[in-house]
Amino acid sequence: MCSSSGAAGQRRPPVDEGLTPASTQATKGSPPAPQTRTTQVALLHAVLQALWPCAFYLTCSFAMNMFTKALLTTFDWHAIYTLGAVQNAFTTLSVAALTAFDAMRHRWQNDKAAAWASPTGGLPRTTLTWRFIVRVVLPLVALNVGNTVLGFAAMRIVNMPMYLVLRRLTTLKVLLLEWLVLRKPLSKSIRVALLVSTFGSLLASSTDVTSAQWGYVLVLLQNVCSAGSLTFSKESGLDSRQLVLLNSSAGAVICGALAWLLEGGPDVVLRHPALQDPAFLALALLMCCTCVLYQFAIMICTLRNSALATSVTGNVKDLLSTVCGFVYFHDVQVRAANVAGVAVSLLGAYTFSYVKYQALARDAASEHSTRDRHELRAAAPVGHIKQS
């Protein structure tokens, strides 16, 4: 027994030596390269998963800005409530048809349990209680309708660059609401970037000579509605299709009632000369189709990321929209101080976007690094774990 335990004692070191280099190699040798590549691929995948909703929203938002501005200024369309009612009704019918087709497809496949993927990431089904309706649904509907109507009214009065400059203040309001409602802290770098963007917005708007001052008030009120709508959308627990149906159906009813009361009804609206122009009709149809995509885009971006990410994406697309506003629309006068304010505002917005991206990259890298350490520890031999 002594010789056998001695033999065992002599055999144990080679086993330990075989295990120790393996473990050392797993942490200091060649395996870190595959581990690093795995982490980089996982990080890239996480970033892409966060960015594609933002890119989708950016494209739809830019198209909505250009189409709406062209309808309201180039064709001098005044019936903003009618436009909002038509837009929301078109969205409601399109989404309802899509939902019905989806239900029929599952029925044809005899797959009653199948459901289209929820962009909320598996959030539980929301229970409609009176408290939920009063606290979330009604404010969400009111804010969304206010955002639509105020946006149309402001865009008729304020030129595109100034409209976008003032709209960038939405990010500041989103942060304040998320801090108050969702208790999210703010870093120093984010606060500095927002102050720079806000200063540029105020400088640009103070040197603008083409827009009425009360148009600025409409844009600022729209900012409040946008920030509140984005925040309540995140808190509601509803998926993107439910949110779109809720907002668009309520918007169609409310805007339709306002159009009937304040714009004279269909008899007055149908006499507008633009309705005889095929280009106007084609642009209106294109805007309605884009609005359907835009409604999904803004909700998907908000639900998959955050209300703040949606607002940041809006800041990023503003550069292209601002340039197009200076070039294509006649209601802009280029002044040095005005352009400087726009540039400072964009600089602050892009700095803010960069800070948020760096925070996202750090969080993703930390998450996957922790996961890799757990996987490495789970894969290590039992003898080595006990010895270490």
Q: Is residue 122 part of a domain?
A: no
Query: Angle of helix 32-69 relative to helix 307-328, nearest 10 degrees?
Result: 50
Question: What burial letters (b/e) apply to 17-53, b meaning 16+ CB within 10 Å?
Answer: eebeeebeebeeeeeeeebeeebeebbeebeeebbeb
Identify whether 30 is part of a domain: no
Q: Is residue 1 part of a domain?
A: no
Instruction: Count CB-CB contacts under 10 A for residue 221.
Output: 17
Vertex 300, ends 196 and 294: CA angle to 5°? 80
Distance between CA atoms of residues 15 and 323, nearest Å: 69
At 353 the pLDDT is 72
CB 147 within 8 A of CB 225: yes
How many domains does the structure of the chain reveal?
1
* Residue in 157, 347, 325, 143 with CA at minimum distance from that of residue 234: 143
Question: Considering the domain boundaries, does residue 238 fall inside one?
Answer: yes
- Tell me, what's the pLDDT at 6? 46
90 three-class SS: helix
d(CA 195, CA 298): 25
User: Which residue reads 């976008």 in tokens?
Assistant: 164
Residue 116 within a domain: no
Residue at 258 is within a domain? yes
State the Cα–Cα distance between residues 102 and 122, nearest whole angstrom.
19
Tell me the residue type at 299.
M
CA angle 366, 367, 368 (to 5 degrees): 95
Global confidence as pTM = 0.65
Report pLDDT for 17. Answer: 44
- Identity at 159, one-letter amino acid code: N
| Residue listed under structure tokens 């939902």 | 99
Residue 124, in any domain of the structure: no
DSSP helix/strand/coil, 183: coil
Query: What does the block give as tokens for 254?
Result: 């409310």
Domain that holds residue 270: 47-110+129-365
Q: What is the pLDDT of residue 10?
A: 47
Q: Count CB-CB contacts under 10 A for residue 259.
A: 22
pLDDT value at position 23?
44
Q: Is 139 exposed, middle or buried (0-12, 13-18, 19+ CB in 10 A)?
A: middle
| Residue of 158, 74, 155 whose CA lies nearest to 338 | 158
| pLDDT on residue 89 | 93
Residue 157 domain-assigned?
A: yes
Q: Residue 266 has which token pair? A: 């269909």
DSSP assignments along 202-267, one per residue: HHHHHT--SS-HHHHHHHHHHHHHHHHHHHHHHHH---HHHHHHHHHHHHHHHHHHHHHHHS--HH
Closest listed residue to residue 352, CA positions, set 187, 220, 234 = 187
Residue given tokens 């970033």 in the structure block:
47
- pLDDT, averaged per 10 consecutive residues of the chain (388 residues), comes to 44 46 47 63 80 89 89 88 92 89 77 46 56 83 90 87 80 71 73 81 76 82 84 76 87 92 84 90 92 82 76 75 83 80 82 74 69 65 49
